């Protein structure tokens, strides 16, 4: 009889321990992946918040200086867009935290049920052990051996059962500790969720105030200022669309991928030329008739466009960056050509500037298809 009881408990305990090993190996995997996403998302939110705070300071400074209405509208629009991004990313954080909290809650319920079951099994094992001790069943089991080999086997069974009972007790303690830690973590996640909810409500109220202030500032604009602002927005939209198209063309490009915003000491596209800054990522380069225009870095030609004055624009991808050479003549490369650093791609164009002066010039620009932040082109070149 005791042999059957021991055999049954061996199987039961071994089954429980195998389940515990599986739970220990798998529990927290989902939470670990989500936690990694939460941590990465926190960095994104912090960056959005930092950008927003920077713009808010600029808006505040503009108010003090009583800057132009157009400038205020532009900066307020930037602030609203940044605040909208911040809200969207914070909502994403909220969603990830909610997933993590729900996942933790499910794990806690599962672990609590497992712990209760193990406690019940342990209590049953202890009761049997105590009953066997009181009735000397274990002694009877051992002394009823039919041989030395059988006695050795039965002693091993008794010892193995005692060891399994100790292991089960230790696992119950470990499970209890894990359960307490997970409940504390769940409380922490719920606290973070409450904090995010309050932050979102505050930012949404601020966004409404931004919108009202932007409308007041826009109402102060003159007709000429509104027209200029509309043109600026149109050009910005065109730039966004162009960037999207370039992103498709540069996708997967490995040629010149070492180029980045920290690349320095490059040669100008036109040797010995003068430069006039047009905007952060664009410069006018003034040379002489027939001057060669060279690629600033190794890359792949992704587009060539000819305008209605018969001048060409050549776009070269360097990884995810694109260098743009506008107002060229006699282009010497074709789409999909791989070019070397300082390789001639065409000659400088001849045209009339806004003052009516005939000159040889081109425009040069660098775009990062993975970022909207403009790069200062002059930082790339030798001083």
- 13-18 long-range contacts (CB < 8 A, ≥24 apart) are 13/121, 13/125, 13/161, 13/164, 13/165, 13/168, 14/164, 16/117, 16/118, 16/121, 16/168, 17/164, 17/167, 17/168, 17/171
- Say whether both 189 and 329 belong to one domain: no
Structural domain contains residue 258: no
E strands in the chain: 274-279, 282-287, 292-294, 299-306, 312-318, 321-329, 338-339, 344-352, 358-368
Which residue, 133, 197, 170, is CA-closest to 13?
170
Q: What's the confidence (pLDDT) of residue 136? A: 56
Q: What's the confidence (pLDDT) of residue 299? A: 95
> Of 193, 216, 239, which marks where a domain is finished?
216
Structural domain contains residue 204: yes
- Say whether both 10 and 97 belong to one domain: yes
Rounded to 10 degrees, what is the CA torsion of 293, 250, 365, 224?
140
β pairing state of 321-329 and 344-352: antiparallel
Give the chain's residues under pLDDT 70: 1-36, 62-69, 126, 128-145, 150-151, 154, 157-158, 160, 222, 224-226, 228-229, 231-240, 352-357, 372, 383
- Would you tell me how many other CB atoms lie within 10 Å of the CB of residue 353? 11
- Say whether both 128 and 40 belong to one domain: yes
Helix, strand, coil share of the chain (percent; to 5): 60, 15, 20
Q: Which domain holds residue 127?
A: 2-216
The CATH number of the domain holding residue 335 is: 2.70.70.10
- With beta carbons less than 8 A apart as the criterion, state whether 168 and 21 touch: no
Q: What's the confidence (pLDDT) of residue 256? A: 92
Structural domain contains residue 298: yes
Tokens 């070149």 belong to residue: 381
216 is written with which tokens? 């007041």
- Say whether both 32 and 155 belong to one domain: yes
Report how many domains make up the chain. 2
Separation of CA 262 from chain center: 21
Gap between the Cα atoms of 56 and 71, Å rounded: 14
- 127: alpha, beta or left, given left = phi > 0 and alpha = psi -120 to 50? alpha
- Say whether both 39 and 187 belong to one domain: yes
> Of 216, 231, 263, which marks where a domain is finished?
216
- Which are the contacts of 309, defined by CB distance < 8 A and separation ≥ 6? 351
- Say whether both 157 and 289 belong to one domain: no
Gap between the Cα atoms of 147 and 134, Å rounded: 25
- Say whether both 296 and 182 belong to one domain: no
Which residue, 362, 366, 282, is CA-closest to 327?
362
> Of 191, 216, 241, which marks where a domain is finished?
216
Q: What's the confidence (pLDDT) of residue 257? A: 92
E strands in 165-307: 274-279, 282-287, 292-294, 299-306
How far CA 97 is from CA of 23, 37, 191, 198, 200, in Å, comes to: 23, 9, 10, 15, 14
Tokens 């059962």 belong to residue: 161
User: Helix (H, G, I), strand (E, B), or coil: what is residue 74?
Assistant: helix
Q: What's the confidence (pLDDT) of residue 231? A: 63
Which residue, 380, 371, 365, is CA-closest to 281?
365
- Say whether both 210 and 280 belong to one domain: no
- Say whether both 292 and 188 belong to one domain: no
Structural domain contains residue 307: yes
Which residue, 328, 257, 353, 332, is CA-closest to 297?
257
Structural domain contains residue 162: yes
Q: What's the confidence (pLDDT) of residue 14? A: 44
How far CA 163 is from CA of 1, 4, 10, 131, 141, in Å, comes to: 21, 18, 11, 18, 18
Structural domain contains residue 236: no
Structural domain contains residue 91: yes
341 is written with which tokens? 């650093």
- Say whether both 14 and 151 belong to one domain: yes
Q: What's the confidence (pLDDT) of residue 153? A: 72
Structural domain contains residue 263: no
- Say whether both 191 and 313 belong to one domain: no
- Say whether both 202 and 284 belong to one domain: no
């Amino acid at each position: 009889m005791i042999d059957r009881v021991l055999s049954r408990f061996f199987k039961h305990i071994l089954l429980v321990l195998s389940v515990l090993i599986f739970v220990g190996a798998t529990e927290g995997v989902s939470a670990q992946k989500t936690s990694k996403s939460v941590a990465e998302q926190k960095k994104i939110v912090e960056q959005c918040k930092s950008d927003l705070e920077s713009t808010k300071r600029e808006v505040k400074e503009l108010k003090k200086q009583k800057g132009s209405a157009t400038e205020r509208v532009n900066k307020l629009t930037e602030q609203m867009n940044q605040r909208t991004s911040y809200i969207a990313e914070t909502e994403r954080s909220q969603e990830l935290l909610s997933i993590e909290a729900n996942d933790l809650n499910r794990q806690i319920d599962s672990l609590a049920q497992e712990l209760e079951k193990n406690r019940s099994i342990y209590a049953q094992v202890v009761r049997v052990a105590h009953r066997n001790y009181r009735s000397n069943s274990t002694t009877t089991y051992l002394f009823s051996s039919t041989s030395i080999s059988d006695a050795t086997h039965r002693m091993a069974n008794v010892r193995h059962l005692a060891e399994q009972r100790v292991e089960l007790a230790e696992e119950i303690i470990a499970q209890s500790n894990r359960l307490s830690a997970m409940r504390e973590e769940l409380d922490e996640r719920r606290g973070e969720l409450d904090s995010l909810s309050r932050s979102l409500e505050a930012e949404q109220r601020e966004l409404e105030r931004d919108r009202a202030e932007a409308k007041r500032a826009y109402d102060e604009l003159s007709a000429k200022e509104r027209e200029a602002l509309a043109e600026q927005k149109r050009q910005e939209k065109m730039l966004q669309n162009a960037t999207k198209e370039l992103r498709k063309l540069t996708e997967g490009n490995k040629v010149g991928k070492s180029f980045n915003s920290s690349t320095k000491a490059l040669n100008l596209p036109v040797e010995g030329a003068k430069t006039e800054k047009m905007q952060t990522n664009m410069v006018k380069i003034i040379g002489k008739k027939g001057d060669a225009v060279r690629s600033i870095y190794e890359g792949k030609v992704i587009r060539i466009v000819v305008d209605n004055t018969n001048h060409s624009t050549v776009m070269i991808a360097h990884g995810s960056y694109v260098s743009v050479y506008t107002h060229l003549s006699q282009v010497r490369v074709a789409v999909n050509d791989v070019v070397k650093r300082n390789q001639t791609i065409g000659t400088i164009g001849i045209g009339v500037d806004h003052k009516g002066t005939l000159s040889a010039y081109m425009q040069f620009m660098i775009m990062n298809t993975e970022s909207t932040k403009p790069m200062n082109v002059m930082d790339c070149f030798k001083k």
